[in-house]
Amino acid sequence: MLLVLMASFIGSFGAVFLKLGAERLRYGLRHIVSWQAFTGVVLFLISSGFFYKGIKIGELSVLYPMLSLGYVWTLLWSRLFFREPVTAPKFLALGLILSGIVLINLGAR
Amino acid sequence: MISSASALPQQQHKPFTRLQSIALVFICTILGAVAQILMKTGSAQVPRFDVILILSNLPSLAGYALYGLNTLLLMLALRDGELSLLYPVIALTYVWVTMLSVYFFHEVMNPWKICGIAVIMAGVTVLGRAGTK
C-alpha cells in the first residue's frame, strides 16, 4: 500500500513536468523533446515501478483505485506551482476521492 | 516586428466528434484495465524486482506496452474532447479493473469496495466538471 502511495506521489510530479514540457510546445512541435518532458516520462516510469512492486503482493481491486490519490496530489501541485485556483468543485472532488479510498481500504482483506 | 507566433505554421488536425472522443476514451478504459491485469499477472511471475527480468516477462512487457499505448490514445482523445464528458468515462476503468480482479485473481468483493469505487468515480466526475468551468 505504501508502494502505491509512493507511485501516485511520484506520478503526480511526472504530470507537473509534462505540463512544463507541454508549455514549450507553443514554440513548435519539435519542442516535444525537452528535458522537462523527458523528466516527466522518467518519473512516470519510476512511479509505475513502485506500482508494479505494490500489486505483486496486494489486491488489485484495492490498490488500483488508490492511484486516484494522484488526482489529489496533482490538485495540490497545480495550486502550488501553477497558481491554479482551488474552486469549490475541486475541493468536493478531493473530498470524494479521499473518502472513496478510505471506503475501499475498509473493505480490503 | 510582426509577432512570430502568427508566422508559425499551425498544427492541422481534424477534431474528433463528441461521439468519436467518447468511443476512443471508452476503448482506452478497457485497454487500461487489461494492462493492469497483465501487470499484476507479470509481477507475480517475476521473482525479484529487476528491469531485465520484468522486460523479458511476457505479461509484464505486454502490460507496459498496452499501458503506454493507452496513455497515448488518451492524450489524443482528450486533446479536443470535453473533460466534463470524458472524465466520467475514464472513471469506468475502476469498474473494469475491479471486475477483472474478481474474475482472474479471485479477489473478494464487498459493499465497502463497491461504495468506495462509486464515491471515487463521483469524485473524478466532479473533477472533470471543475476543469471545464
Number of H helices, E strands in chain B: 7, 0
Summarize the confidence of residues B17-45 as an average pLDDT: 94
What's the pLDDT score for residue B2? 44
Whose cell is 478497457? That residue is B30
The answer, yes or no, to whether residue A20 has pLDDT greater than 80, is yes
Pairwise CB contact (< 8 Å): A59 & B107: yes
Pairwise CB contact (< 8 Å): A92 & B126: yes
Label residue B33 by pLDDT band (50, 70, 90). Answer: very high
What's the pLDDT score for residue A8? 94
Residues A27-71 pLDDT 10s: 777 777 888 889 999 999 999 999 999 999 899 999 999 999 999
Q: Which amino acid is at B132?
A: T
Whether chain B has a CB inside 8 Å of the CB on A31: the answer is no
Summarize the confidence of residues B81-96 as an average pLDDT: 90
Whether chain A has a CB inside 8 Å of the CB on B113: the answer is yes
The answer, yes or no, to whether residue A82 has pLDDT greater than 60, is yes
ipTM value of the model? 0.89
User: How many CB atoms lie under 10 A from the CB of residue A83?
Assistant: 7
Host H or E run for residue B25: helix B18-45
Summarize the confidence of residues A86-96 as an average pLDDT: 94
Count of pairs with CB atoms under 8 A, one residue in A, one in B: 124
Pairwise CB contact (< 8 Å): B112 & A99: no
Q: What pTM does this model have?
A: 0.87
Give ∠ CA A89-A21-A43 in degrees, rounded to 5: 80
